Chains A and B, each alone.
Chain A
Amino acid sequence: MARRRSPSAPARSIYLFPLPALAVFAFFFAMPTVQAFQYAVTDWDGFSVDFNSVGLANFTRVVGGDSLFANAAVNNAKFLLVVVVVQTAMSLLLALGLLRNSGRSVALRALFFFPAILSSVSVAFVWKFVYDPTYGIGNSVLGAGSRLLNAFGADVAPLQLSFLGDDRTAIYWVAMAQCWAHIGQMMVVYVAGLQAIPGEIYEAADVDGASPLRKFAYITWPLVAPATAIVVAYTTIQSFKAFDLILGLSGTPPKGSLDTLSTRIYTTFANSQYGYAAAESILFMALIGVVTIVQRGALRIIPQSDR
C-alpha cells in the first residue's frame, strides 16, 4: 500500500480540490454545450414544436456555402491579428515605462487601466462618437493635423476619413477601439511580471556593460515570457468574443465590413435559425481551439529562462 512517492508529489486528497469547480462547470456549462450539438443537427427555429433532423447539412453549409460566414471569419482574423500584436506590444511598452512605484507611475497606471473598467457598450459609444466623420474627434484631429502641416509649408489636402464607413479598413478601426479599452488591463499583467524580475540580474548585466537593448532581449523578454503567454492567450480569446463592442458600433446586425464570427452567430439566432446557429457556434469553438493550440506551440518557441 505504501508506494514510494517522490517527496514533492501531493497527497491523494488533491484530487478533491478541483471537484466543486468541475461540478459547477459540468452542470451549467458542459451540458448546455452538449445540447448545442443536439440543436446543430436539426433545423429548429427556436420556438416551434416541430423540427427536422438534418444530419451534417448545417456543418457542410457553414464550411462551404456561406459567404457571410467566410467574410466574418476573415474579419475575425484581421481583427485578431491587429489586436494581439498592438495590445501585447503597447502593454509591454507601457509597463516598462511605468515600472517604478513612484506616485506618478501609480497614478498613470490607474489612469491607463480605467478604460478596461467600462462596459464594452460604453466603449462602443465613446468610439462611435470619435469615428463620426462630421462631428467626431477623429476627423477633427486629422483636420487640425493637416492644417498644421500646411502651416509649415506642406501642401496637403485636409485629411478626412469615413472610418467605419470605409469597407476595407472599418474592422481595423474597431480593433483600435478594442485595444484602447484593454491595453491598460494587459499592462497590469506585465507590471506584475516585470516587477517579479530580481534587480540583481540587471545589476549584473550593467556590470558586464550591457546596452538597454541587450538587457531587454536577453533578460526582460525571456523572464517575462509567462506574462506574455497570459497576455497573448487572453487577448486572443477576448477578441474572439468581442461582441458588445461591434454591436454598439455597428448596430444589429452589423454590416459586412464589421461582422465577426460572434456577431454572425448572434444574427443567425436573431433570424430564428437556432439549429444552423448552433452548428456555426460549434465550428467557431473548434476554430478557437485550433488557434489556441497553435498559439501555445508558438509561444513555446519563445526562449524561457531556466538558468
Chain B
Amino acid sequence: MSALAVRAPRRIRFGRGALLAVYTVIIVVPLAVVVFGSFKSQQQLFANPYLPTLSPALSNYRSALLAQGLGRALLNSAVVTVSGVVLTLVLASLAAFAVARTRGWVSAGIFGVLVVGMAVPAQANMIPQRVLFERIGLLDALLGLVVINVTVTLPIATFILAGFMKTLPAELYEASSLDGAGNLRTFLSIVMPLSAPSLAATTIFLFVIQWNDLLYPLLLIQSPDKKTLPLALLNFQGEFLTNYPLLFTGVILSSLPLVVAYVLLQRQFVAGITAGAGK
C-alpha cells in the first residue's frame, strides 16, 4: 500500500485545501482574462476584464488564422519541434547513460561541459552562430532551427536524464553484465524502459522550450513561409500599439497544440509513476 492512501489529519487537510483553492484562483483568473479577452474588443477588455462578454466576437480568431498566417506557422512549429525533440532525446539519453555509468573525471567532464552549456547565455553565441549557419547554408531553413534547438537543449536534457539514471542501482548493471549484455543492449532493454517517467518529463520540458522559442527563429528565419508560431505571433504587435485581444487570441491558438499534447502525455506519465511505485 502506498503512502498516497494515508489520510492526513484534519488540520493539514484544511490547510492543503485552502492553499490549493488560493493557488487555483491565482492561476485561473489571469487565464480567464486571456480566454474571455480573445472574444472582446480592446475597449470591452479594459471596461471589464474579468467576465465574459455578452456579445462575443470571433473577429479576432478570424483575423489571427486567416490574415496573420498562423496555419502555416503551426505546421512549421510542429515539424521543427517534433524533429528537434526526438533528436535531442536520442543524443541526450546516450550521453546521460555515459555520465551515469562512468566515474571520475570522464563522467564529471562530460557533465561539466554540458552544464556549462546550460549556463552560457544565448546572447554570447548569437552572432557567431548566425555567421556560422550562413556559411554552411543553414540560414533561413527549418533544418537550421532543428539543429540549433537540439544544440541548445542538449545540456538540460542530459542533466535531467543523468540525474535520474544515476539513481538506478549498481546491481542492475552487475546483473546485466553477468548476463553477457553489452552497453547497447543494457541501454536499450533495461535502462531506457526504466527511465520512461524521466523521459516523459524531459519530453514535456523539451517540447515546451523548443515550441516557444523565439530568439533563434527571429535570428535565423527570414522568409514569411518558414516562420514558427512565436515569430508569427509577434506580428500582432505594432510599433506603438498592442492589440491585447488579438494577442490573447494568438496565445490561445498557439498554445492549444501544446496543451493537447500535454494532456495526452500527462496521463501516461502518471500511470508510469504509479506502476513503478506499486512494485
Chain A residues whose C-beta falls within 8 Å of the C-beta of B30 in the assembled complex = 126-127, 130, 137, 180
State the main secondary structure of chain B at its contact with A.
helix
Tell whether B29 is near chain A: CB-to-CB under 8 Å. Answer: yes
Q: What is the total of A-B residue contacts with beta carbons within 8 Å?
A: 273
Tell whether A175 is near chain B: CB-to-CB under 8 Å. Answer: no
Contact between A277 and B123, CB atoms less than 8 A apart: yes
Tell whether A94 is near chain B: CB-to-CB under 8 Å. Answer: yes
Contact between A94 and B19, CB atoms less than 8 A apart: yes
In the complex, per-residue mask of A27-68: 1 if CB is within 8 Å of any chain B CB, else 0 = 011011101100100000010000000000000000000000
Q: Which of A14, A97, A119, A127 contacts B183 (CB 8 A)?
A: A14
State the main secondary structure of chain A at its contact with B.
helix
Contact between B212 and A119, CB atoms less than 8 A apart: yes
CB of A133 to closest CB in B, whole Å: 13
Tell whether B55 is near chain A: CB-to-CB under 8 Å. Answer: no
Tell whether B201 is near chain A: CB-to-CB under 8 Å. Answer: yes
With A17-B94, A17-B95, A24-B154 as contacts: A202 and B6 at CB distance below 8 Å: yes
Tell whether A298 is near chain B: CB-to-CB under 8 Å. Answer: no
With A115-B27, A117-B262, A289-B119 as contacts: A18 and B94 at CB distance below 8 Å: yes
Contact between A101 and B251, CB atoms less than 8 A apart: no
Contact between B123 and A281, CB atoms less than 8 A apart: yes
Contact between B263 and A110, CB atoms less than 8 A apart: yes
CB of B242 to closest CB in A, whole Å: 7
With A137-B30, A281-B121 as contacts: A35 and B128 at CB distance below 8 Å: yes
Band of interface residues on A:
35 or more
A209, B30: Cα distance in complex, Å? 43
Contact between A33 and B125, CB atoms less than 8 A apart: yes
With A14-B183, A20-B94, A36-B128 as contacts: A212 and B12 at CB distance below 8 Å: yes
Chain B residues whose C-beta falls within 8 Å of the C-beta of A120 in the assembled complex = 212, 214
In the complex, per-residue mask of B119-140: 1 if CB is within 8 Å of any chain A CB, else 0 = 1111111111100100000000
Q: Which of A11, A111, A180, A262 contacts B123 (CB 8 A)?
A: A262
Tell whether A196 is near chain B: CB-to-CB under 8 Å. Answer: yes
CB of A290 to closest CB in B, whole Å: 10
Q: Which of B82-124 contact A (CB under 8 A)?
A: 90-92, 94-95, 97-99, 101-103, 106, 110, 113-124
Chain B residues whose C-beta falls within 8 Å of the C-beta of A35 in the assembled complex = 128
Contact between A111 and B27, CB atoms less than 8 A apart: yes
Q: Which of B28, B119, B151, B186 contacts A288 (CB 8 A)?
A: B119
A261, B122: Cα distance in complex, Å? 12
Binding site for B on A (CB under 8 A): 7-11, 13-15, 17-18, 20-22, 24-25, 28-29, 31-33, 35-36, 39, 46, 90, 93-94, 96-101, 106, 108-122, 125-127, 129-130, 135-137, 180, 184-185, 188-189, 191-192, 195-199, 201-203, 206, 212, 226, 229-230, 233-234, 237, 240-241, 243-244, 261-262, 265-266, 269, 274, 277-278, 281-282, 284-285, 288-289, 292
Interchain residue pairs with CB less than 8 A apart (26) = A8-B171, A13-B183, A14-B97, A17-B95, A22-B95, A24-B91, A24-B147, A24-B151, A24-B154, A25-B154, A28-B148, A96-B16, A108-B20, A115-B31, A117-B208, A120-B214, A121-B233, A121-B234, A126-B34, A129-B49, A137-B29, A137-B33, A188-B201, A202-B6, A226-B163, A230-B160
Besides A20-B90, A289-B116, 5 new A-B residue pairs in contact (Cβ under 8 A), listed by A number: A14-B183, A97-B19, A117-B208, A135-B49, A274-B127
